[in-house]
């Protein structure tokens, strides 16, 4: 079995959907002697900023001389982006070997459970610290099968309400279940109800709670990334990392797909919920440039509501990611958005490459093309430009 065959088999697990609960993950980890118990794990959950903060923590720890395992999702181009040590992606041969080992245990696993176990097995013996980004929620997320020394709870807002609950308080209850007894909890600005839940859970579990207020400079664009950098700095400070190393690490972090210029007049941002779009909007509006927006939403998201949170645009092109076309999940948003009810300058172009070509044909006076609404869509743009 080669790498491509393994990846196809892993992707095929998606047809079984998501299974909420950590028992299967725990069972599989036990069969391998619980490799996660020997790791110093930093667990990141929340609604926005999880991936960026995880990448920042990794960068700072690397700057301090540590080997850091980083597990994130989703990937933009290469499946192996999800599992890396000191920014080096897991080798294709490593994916194949670990797939066979896990498969031999005959534990029924979902796609994300499989990847979580694969990551933890890969990190064993290779890392000083491990940074795990929760996939969805917290309590029943596969990553919660591993005990962490530090829990990071990024700003929590409404997202995945059909799964996690229809209030921020319900979502906070779920996500804050990553907090383990007698550990460190790092959070920042939260709605009062959310903050109270995090405080209560931290007190009940005898944890040290740190509320981040200070922003830090980083090479990533957007004021929200300076806020995210404050989370990473707080974690590093608790690990006794010198401030100079923290500042240097935050200037070296790499995180694709978030307010990233692929070309001088082409900006991409994977914002895929209202809070993320609002943060992106602040940065884009500060540029004072006319916009041509290429937009595509994933899954069950309310595309019409998301469009209302976009920056002011000259032209809007609604399109689809390649992965969505294969699964037909985006046909919902393509049908739901009627250009005439959005704006006279709105057009639907299902094929992304044609959408990009059309956007470029509209660039007459230095307009900026912005691609947003989905990380999958952003990944497809990057792949297209690199092909």
Q: Are strands 83-85 and 291-295 parallel, antiparallel or unpaired?
A: unpaired
Lowest mean pLDDT among 59-68, 149-158, 160-169, 205-214: 160-169
Lowest mean pLDDT among 32-41, 118-127, 161-170: 161-170
**Which pLDDT does position 19 carry in this prediction?**
63
Q: Do domains 3-250 and 260-386 have the same CATH topology?
A: no
**Which pLDDT does position 338 carry in this prediction?**
54
Task: Report pTM.
Answer: 0.92
Q: Is the pLDDT of residue 64 over 80?
A: yes
Q: Where exactly are the structural domains of the chain?
A: 3-250, 260-386
The C-alpha atoms of residue 310 and residue 259 are separated, in whole angstroms, by: 14
Residue with token string 């950098």:
229
Is 176 within 8 Å of 198 (Cβ atoms)? yes
Which residues on adjacent β-strands are paired with residue 269?
372
Confidence grade of residue 40 (pLDDT, cut at 50, 70, 90): very high
Confidence grade of residue 383 (pLDDT, cut at 50, 70, 90): very high
What are residue 233's phi and psi, to 5 degrees? -65, -40
Q: Is the pLDDT of residue 328 over 60?
A: no
Find the helix or strand (DSSP H, E) in which 208 lies. strand 208-211
Find the helix or strand (DSSP H, E) in which 68 lies. strand 68-71
What's the topology of domain 3-250?
3.40.1190
Residue 124's CB: how many other CB atoms inside 10 A? Answer: 17
The answer regarding whether domain 260-386 maps to CATH 3.40.50.2300 reads no
Share of the chain above pLDDT 70, in %: 90
Q: Is the pLDDT of residue 333 over 60?
A: no
């Amino acid at each position: 079995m080669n790498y491509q065959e393994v990846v196809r088999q892993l992707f095929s697990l998606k047809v079984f959907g998501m299974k909420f609960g950590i028992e299967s993950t725990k069972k599989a980890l036990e069969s391998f002697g619980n490799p996660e118990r020997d790791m110093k794990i930093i667990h990141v959950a929340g609604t926005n900023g999880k991936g960026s903060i995880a990448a920042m923590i990794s960068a700072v720890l690397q700057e301090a001389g540590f080997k850091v395992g980083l597990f994130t999702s989703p990937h933009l181009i290469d499946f192996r982006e999800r599992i890396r040590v000191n920014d080096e992606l897991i080798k294709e041969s490593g994916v194949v070997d670990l797939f066979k080992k896990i498969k031999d245990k005959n534990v029924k696993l979902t796609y994300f459970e499989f990847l979580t176990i694969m990551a933890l097995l890969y990190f064993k013996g290779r890392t000083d610290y491990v940074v795990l980004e929760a996939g969805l929620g917290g309590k029943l997320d596969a990553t919660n099968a591993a005990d962490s020394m530090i829990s990071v709870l990024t700003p929590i807002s409404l997202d995945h309400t059909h799964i996690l609950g229809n209030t921020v308080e319900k979502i906070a209850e779920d996500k804050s279940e990553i907090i383990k007894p007698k550990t460190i909890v790092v959070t920042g600005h939260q709605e009062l109800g959310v903050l109270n839940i995090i405080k209560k859970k931290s007190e009940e579990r005898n944890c040290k709670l740190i509320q981040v207020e200070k922003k830090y400079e980083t090479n990533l664009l957007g004021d929200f990334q300076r806020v995210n950098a404050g989370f990473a700095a707080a974690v590093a400070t608790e690990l006794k990392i010198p401030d100079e190393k923290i500042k240097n690490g935050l200037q070296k972090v790499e995180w694709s797909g978030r307010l990233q210029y692929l070309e001088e007049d082409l900006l991409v941002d994977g914002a895929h919920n209202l809070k993320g779009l609002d943060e992106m909007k602040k940065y884009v509006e500060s540029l004072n440039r006319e916009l041509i927006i290429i937009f595509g939403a994933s899954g069950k998201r309310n595309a019409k509501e998301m469009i209302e949170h976009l920056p002011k645009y000259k032209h809007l092109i609604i399109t689809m990611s390649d992965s969505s076309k294969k699964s037909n999940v985006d046909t919902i948003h393509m049908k739901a958005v009627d250009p005439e009810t959005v704006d006279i300058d709105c057009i639907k172009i299902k094929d992304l490459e044609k959408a990009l070509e059309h956007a470029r044909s509209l660039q007459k006076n230095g307009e900026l093309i912005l691609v947003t609404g989905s990380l999958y869509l952003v990944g497809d743009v990057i792949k297209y430009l690199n092909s």
